[in-house]
Amino acid sequence: MTNQIRVVIILFLAFASVAQASIRIAVIGKTKNDSFYVSSHNGCLHFAKSHPEVSCLYDGPADYQDPRSQAKVVQRIIAEGVDGLLISTTDSEHLVKEALVKAKSKSIPTVMFDSDLLPEHSQYRLAYVGTNNIDFGKALGNYAHRYKRKEELTSFCIQSGHHTTPNLNERIKGVRLALSGGETVAPLDNVNGWKENSRCPLYSEGKRDTAIFQLEQMITAYDPPPVIIAVAGFAQFSEKYIGRMQRFKSRIAADEVVIISADTEPLQLDALAEGLSTVNIGQRPFEMGRQGTELLYRYIKYAEKPDKELFHLGYHYCTPENLDTCIATE
């Protein structure tokens, strides 16, 4: 084989490889170091296995929820070149103004997952794939009713991430609706036997050390402690959580300390197995990534618009008793 033929073959294979992976989809979480969003990226990769023309890239703010950092990541990816965006929103207004207006002007389709844009910004995305966050908040709140005191007000504290994040704010509304018996989404003060701690909601911006510190403060500063309702993983996403919470293990077992948390990521299930969480209500991040990628693929390749705007996925309840069976196979 001559050198010229070898060069021709190499160039042909290189061109074929580029042509094969011709649809580039970016999965962008609120943070990059979060196993929840890594799982969503894995969902994209799973779809790409059976559609070799699709390639997936993963990005997001490095360490915590920051609207400016997320918008800058999206700006950079648009500038580098991408065919579709799959994003979990931290701040709808800022993301649209600083990045999605540009994406729309360049005809780059966007699907939101986990956290949707606000309704007034829905024109900047094709669809939303993820949990119905009002209902998810209600599920967290309804579980808390098991720990309501019969003859006195029961205090509770909601722990959240960034104060502008749409899905977390919807979950807070859902928690309050459930606890108030459907009366209100405002902070509760002696409504249906519940009282919201005056220091809450607590906002950690997704900073794990901050979230653990907040949790410790709530447990140690009050007797009895408020029922903790975390609308995402936060403290439990930290590798330090198990060690820091060991001192409360017997009180959690006795229901003196109640920790109701969203999500069932591996570190959280480890904590649950150690008896350091009361219940975890989990979502389906892998399926969010897989289905969101499929919607983008069909739109980019076939100009097929989604047949609806909202694709809601289910959730599951994990307790120390059902750890082996609580998560549905995806």
Give DSSP secondary structure letters for 166-188: HHHHHHHHHHHHHHTTSS-SSPP
Q: Where are the domains of the chain?
A: 3-131+284-313, 133-282
The CA distance from 158 to 248, in Å, is 19
Reply yes or no: is the peptide bond before residue 201 cis, omega within 30 of 0: yes
Angle, helices 35-49 vs 285-302, to 10°: value is 40
The two beta strands, 154-160 and 227-230, are: parallel
For residue 151, what pLDDT is reported? 79
Q: Are 159 and 235 in contact (CB under 8 A)?
A: yes
CA-nearest of 22, 81, 16, 15 to 48 is 22
Identify the pLDDT of residue 64. Answer: 85
Q: For 215, how many CA atoms within 13 A lie in the half-sphere containing its CB?
A: 32
HSE of 304 in the Cβ direction (CA atoms, 13 Å)?
8
Residue 109: half-sphere exposure toward Cβ, Cα within 13 Å:
23
Q: CA-CA distance, 66 to 166, in Å (whole number)?
A: 14
327: which 2 tokens?
């998560």
pLDDT at 152: 86
Amino acid 21: pLDDT: 59
Q: Cα-Cα-Cα-Cα dihedral of 77, 310, 174, 161, to 10°? A: -10
Sign of the CA dihedral running 214, 258, 255, 316: negative
Q: Please tell me if the domain spanning 3-131+284-313 has the same topology as the one spanning 133-282.
A: yes
| Distinct helix (H) and strand (E) counts, the chain | 12, 14
The structural architecture, per CATH, of the domain 133-282 is 3-Layer(aba) Sandwich (3.40)
- Helix, strand or coil for residue 281? strand
pLDDT at 3: 53
Strands 279-282 and 259-262: parallel
Question: What is the DSSP annotation of 221-263?
Answer: HSSSPPEEEESS-GGGGSTTHHHHHGGGHHHHHTTSS-EEEE-
Q: Which residues of the chain carry a pLDDT beneath 50?
A: 1, 7-19, 329-330
Residue with the two structure tokens 């983008």: 296
Supply the pLDDT for residue 2.
Answer: 56
Backbone angles phi, psi at 93, to 5 degrees: -60, -45
Residue 54: other Cβ atoms inside 10 A: 25
CATH architecture of structural domain 3-131+284-313: 3-Layer(aba) Sandwich (3.40)
| Inter-residue contact 83 to 24 (CB < 8 Å) | yes
Q: CA 42 to CA 27: how far, in whole Å? A: 10
Q: What is the pLDDT, as a whole number, of residue 328?
A: 61
**Cis geometry, peptide bond prior to residue 119 (ω within 30 degrees of 0):** no
pLDDT of residue 86: 98
Structure-token match 């990045």, residue found: 99
pLDDT of residue 16: 43
- Position 13 scores a pLDDT of 43
